[in-house]
Amino acid sequence: MLTSDHIETLLRIVDTGSFSAAARALRRTPSAVSMAVANLEAELGLVLFDRSRREPVPTPAMAALLPGARLIDEQLSALRAHALHLSSGVEARLRIGVAAELDDAPVMRALSAIAQRYPALEIQVRRAPQDEIVDALHRSAVDLCVAYGGLELHAQESIHALWTETLMAVAAPAHALGARKAWPIETLALHRQVVVANPEVPMSDARPVISSRVWQVDNTAGALALVEAGHGWANLPRGSVREALARKSLVALRFSNTRNGLNLPVYLRLPRHTGLGKAAAELAEGLRAEARELG
């Protein structure tokens, strides 16, 4: 019967190029490795290595088995790592909510570190408008979320300030507001605004909304597309519009009576009465580290 031990032995021989080198890597004697391969060949009815040369050379049969053997070896390694993580208190699944309005680059950097540390961990990232993500946290549909700090404090939440994000008022160059002149900021109220929000959920924080005429879209990419097409202006995270500003498909609006930039605090929002798993706690610390880097 072909076992995981056989697979590991075969791969070590192929990778090291000899029975003796494979034996050293496996901490066995060369005779034990040679005998294990001979017994397996007899059981399978296949010759796996050509021994007529100084060093063993994989036969066509071994070459045909090699891709599957590597795949099984990788899966077994991942399974062992997962079992080790579970035994050390790492949760089986980590569910993260990220408000669609904000620039998620710092969150993705922190998450990448967790994914590398726990490769078998199931990670679910949910991106949705602010109010929808906060509601998901309150319903325990996510384990933690990164969102703007609201105007209200919720009894079921524990909040931790991370960084401040600047929303930039932008429009397409051909839009009426895209002219190079500086406008009074009150002029924005006269033009359609594109807002990242769920049309089915009332907005609890209307600070970024200035216009009485609003189009709602539930993701930043959609908002960018609408604004670039000239359908309105929008308050969007500086990081999200940087490329569009560079390629001049958007312009940052100029105001005669204030600067362009609405600073909003970004919070790590946690359930108050539910403890975090090990990976979630480490992600929270990674987000705090990102906040320190951002200053």
39-71: per-residue pLDDT in tens? 988 888 999 999 888 888 999 999 999 999 899
pLDDT the model gives residue 201: 76
Pair (130, 216) in one structural domain? no
- Who's near 85: CB < 8 A, 6+ residues apart? 118, 120, 121
Pair (203, 111) in one structural domain? no
Looking at 88-212, list the stretches that DSSP marks H as alpha helix, in order from N- to C-terminal side. Answer: 105-117, 130-138
Which domain CATH number covers 224?
3.40.190.290
Pair (245, 283) in one structural domain? no
Q: Which domain holds residue 221?
A: 164-265
What is the number of structural domains in the chain?
Answer: 3
Q: Which burial class, exposed, middle or buried, applies to 25 when counting CB atoms under 10 A from its CB (0-12, 13-18, 19+)?
A: middle
Rg (CA), the chain: 28
- 12-21, 77-86, 168-177: least confidently modelled range: 77-86
Q: What percent of the chain has pLDDT over 90?
A: 46
Looking at 121-198, list the stretches that DSSP marks H as alpha helix, in order from N- to C-terminal side. Answer: 130-138
Q: What percent of the chain has pLDDT over 70?
A: 95
Pair (49, 70) in one structural domain? yes
Pair (150, 276) in one structural domain? yes
Three-state secondary structure call for residue 137 = helix
Which pairs count as long-range contacts for 113-117, CB under 8 Å and 24+ apart, including other chains? 113/286, 114/279, 114/282, 114/283, 114/286, 117/279, 117/282
Pair (73, 102) in one structural domain? no
pLDDT the model gives residue 179: 80
> In angstroms, rounded to a whole number, what is the distance separating the alpha carbons of residues 130 and 224?
17
Which domain CATH number covers 73?
1.10.10.10
**Structure letter (DSSP) for residue 139:** T
**Structure letter (DSSP) for residue 81:** H
Q: How confident is the model at residue 155 (pLDDT cuts 50, 70, 90)?
A: confident
16 versus 86: the higher-pLDDT residue is: 16
Pair (51, 143) in one structural domain? no
Q: What is the pLDDT averaged over residues 86-113?
A: 87
104-135 in b/e form (b: 16+ CB < 10 A) is: bebbeebbeebeeebebbeeeeebbbbbbbbb
188: how many CB neighbours lie within 10 A of its CB?
Answer: 19
Report for 14-23, 80-89, 109-118, 224-233: range of highest mean pLDDT: 224-233
pLDDT the model gives residue 5: 87
The one-letter amino acid at 223? A
Pair (99, 226) in one structural domain? no
Which domain CATH number covers 115?
3.40.190.10
Pair (100, 82) in one structural domain? no
User: Residue 1 pLDDT more than 70?
Assistant: yes
Looking at the chain, list the stretches that DSSP marks H as alpha helix, in order from N- to C-terminal side. Answer: 4-16, 19-26, 30-44, 60-87, 105-117, 130-138, 220-228, 238-246, 278-294
pLDDT the model gives residue 55: 87
Pair (198, 229) in one structural domain? yes
> In angstroms, rounded to a whole number, what is the distance separating the alpha carbons of residues 64 and 189?
68
pLDDT the model gives residue 91: 85
Locus of tokens 């922190």: 110
- Who's near 73: CB < 8 A, 6+ residues apart? 4, 7, 8, 11
Chain centroid to CA 74: 22
Pair (280, 146) in one structural domain? yes
User: Residue 151 pLDDT more than 60?
Assistant: no
Are 98 and 123 in contact, with CB atoms under 8 Å apart?
Answer: no
User: Residue 89 pLDDT more than 80?
Assistant: no
Three-state secondary structure call for residue 119 = coil
> In angstroms, rounded to a whole number, what is the distance separating the alpha carbons of residues 196 and 36?
63
Q: How confident is the model at residue 84 (pLDDT cuts 50, 70, 90)?
A: low
> In angstroms, rounded to a whole number, what is the distance separating the alpha carbons of residues 201 and 23?
64
User: Residue 160 pLDDT more than 60?
Assistant: yes
Pair (171, 252) in one structural domain? yes
Are 91 and 280 in contact, with CB atoms under 8 Å apart?
Answer: yes
